[in-house]
Amino acid sequence: QVQLVESGGGLVQPGGSLRLSCACSDSIFRFYTMAWYRQVPGKQRELVAALTSGGTTMYADSVKGRFTISRDNAKNTLYLQMNSLKPQDTAVYSCNTDFARFSWGQGTQVTVSS
């Protein structure tokens, strides 16, 4: 069973930056479109950014120009560079394929607050 482990979250002030990582236990990672999602209590999980195996990216309008998704297939790792963070970015961030084919990891909490 493929496992996903997210890390890199934390508490940051508005305008700050964080870099999230998602380590995948299986090299099959490289063949999938991978995505970052976020969820706040009481709301549905939303897709924030996606990256195909060929390098095409997609971003939600709310993060476009501020977040950058990337991947290192040699390390089976997905990244999310988050800049100019806003309080509304506060959420638990998780990674998965574009159709959530793998089991969800525990996610990593991002809190943007002064």
31-53 per-position pLDDT tens digit: 999 999 999 999 999 999 999 99
Q: How distant is the alpha carbon of residue 55 from its chain centre?
A: 16
- Report the chain's mean pLDDT, rounded to a whole number: 96
pLDDT digits (tens, 9 = 90+) for 18-33: 999 999 998 888 999 9
- The rounded Cα 59 to chain-centroid distance in angstroms is 11
Q: DSSP assignment of the chain, as one string? A: ---EEEE--EEE-TT--EEEEEEESSGGGGGS-EEEEEE-TTS--EEEEEE-TTS-EEE-TTTTTTEEEEEETTTTEEEEEE-S--GGG-EEEEEEETT--SPP---EEEEE--
d(CA 59, CA 62): 8
